[in-house]
Structure 1
């Protein structure tokens, strides 16, 4: 009998979904599956729920929510034999899209029931914080911070948060060490990606892969307001690779020191964090998370 443990964020995607154990048993009959369904009640609650679930040794733990919920659940499964399942019922659903997991509920459930297991790479910050899609310490962190304060989460809110952040963002000087080179930059955007999609079908790194053993590093210098608007349009069109002022490269490890601050505003998979450190070591853990696809 296969044991599948579901962790549901009841407010993901404006709370329109109603995932219950009774609903899931229509697809996973009790005579063949042991099902447990739990609901997160606040931000980062899924981290604790996942930790408790791992101790019970299920075959699969399914994150039911958006990228934030998936991030919290997946963080507890890195370097374990437990497989991550995804029911994408959030707003952005970037990781699910990159893994070709359907937003259609029945199709996503069928993937969990009949899909195959695949190992993907995982990004890590300072040996303790994981990311699966992307992370950033530039204007994107401020965009996420403002986005999280908005009453609704959708593409128009994200665009509004981006425009407001662009008007007020003041970059800091950053010392970077990667690929045997050291350089300084004062970036508008400092973005490191493991996947080729951020959510809402947008991408800053369209050539990134979850299974190539590399992180895609993108740095964009400080821009004037017209350059910012042009770059923003390229983001919406997934054509950032045509922006001549952008510098991109593949990295396995990158060391960062940020001037004039003791803490670092950071986004991990579209969730805002305030890291109590101005020195970051960002690296990749190859094939360290099993996912059902």
Structure 2
């Protein structure tokens, strides 16, 4: 049986529309399922907290990356697989895994039953699936999640642009920090750091390919550090990240490792899969092939 988790408010109501399409598809195909609807932040995780692995074949999320993030934290090392019907504003996990953005395509992929095992990173005790970002992008995620522009753009079907717009809002007030980054025990020191992205998969922010070579089953995390760059030059570099071409810029450093310790000299906002979490000195690690995903 499939347990469907629906965030009706994902994409400012897109979740509800896609659930109605999902329901029609499942009924037409005579698929056995149970559906639960989220009512508040954190509810998706609670809905599957005591999931019966003998009864449930897969949890299918009709929602965005935030809802998926909650579910992933409950499915690590379980026999239950994760399926995705992308209904958020960014849908970066679906983009990274090439999950179709239409209901029929996404569900057909799930019903084929062929899953892959992917790595699940941890930021401290918090699992994430795609990317954790500290600094500038963490602050942008924080501002985006509470912005009116996100809700408006979602209504227009342009939800991914909300992150881009808020980059400009944060750009002229953000203050870079000095940071130490230890990668598998090797220490790297950076001054005037704008952001550090620790990636299991390539995309975040609604299509920004911040770590283009990140692979979800290689047992390692890719790290992108942007440091020592002026605000106006950062504006030039930013568009390059949509194609992953920023990595050749002199102020961008790419690293890779299995255990990463990030130690900022001042407070930094951190996001995991777009959800703002507590930060400070943080150790990132990888639990290899810990999640089944369609």
1:269 to 273, 285, 288: 273
Q: Which residue of 1 aligns with 2:223?
A: 217
2:105 is paired with a residue whose SS is: helix
Instruction: Single out whichever of 53-62 and 100-109 deviates more from structure 2.
Output: 53-62
Q: For 1:169, what is the secondary structure of its paired residue?
A: coil
Query: TM-score when scaled to structure 2?
Result: 0.90
Q: 1:19 to 1:160 in 2, by over 3 A?
A: same
Matching residue of 2:84: 86
Question: Counterpart of 1:132 in 2: which secondary structure?
Answer: coil
Equivalent position SS for 1:288 = strand
Q: Which runs of 5+ in 2 are unaligned?
A: 151-158
Structure 2 CA distance for aligned equivalents of residues 18 and 182 of structure 1 = 46
TM-score relative to the length of structure 1: 0.90
User: Separation in 2 of the partners of 1:259 and 1:198?
Assistant: 25
Q: CA deviation at 1:152?
A: 3.9
Give the conservation status (yes or no) of the 8 Å contact 2:202–2:210: yes
After superposition, the C-alpha distances for 1:127-186 in whole angstroms (9 at most, x for unaligned) are x20111100112100010111121243233212210111111112222221133213223
Whether 1:132 aligns to 2:140 is: no
How far residue 120 of structure 1 moved from its aligned partner, in angstroms, is 0.3
Number of equivalences: 282
- Once residues 87 and 179 of structure 1 are traced to their aligned partners in structure 2, the CA distance between those partners, rounded to angstroms, is 36
Contact 1:84 1:290 in 2 (8 A): yes
Q: Please show how residues 15-54 of structure 1 align to structure 2 within 5 Å.
A: 15-16=13-14, 17-20=17-20, 22-29=23-30, 33-54=31-52
Where in structure 1 are there 5+ consecutive unaligned residues? none
Cα drift, residue 97 of structure 1: 1.5
Instruction: Name the counterpart of 1:243.
Output: 249
Q: Which residue of 2 aligns with 1:141?
A: 138
Contact 1:177 1:255 in 2 (8 A): yes
**What RMSD over aligned residues (CA atoms) do the two structures have, in Å?**
1.9
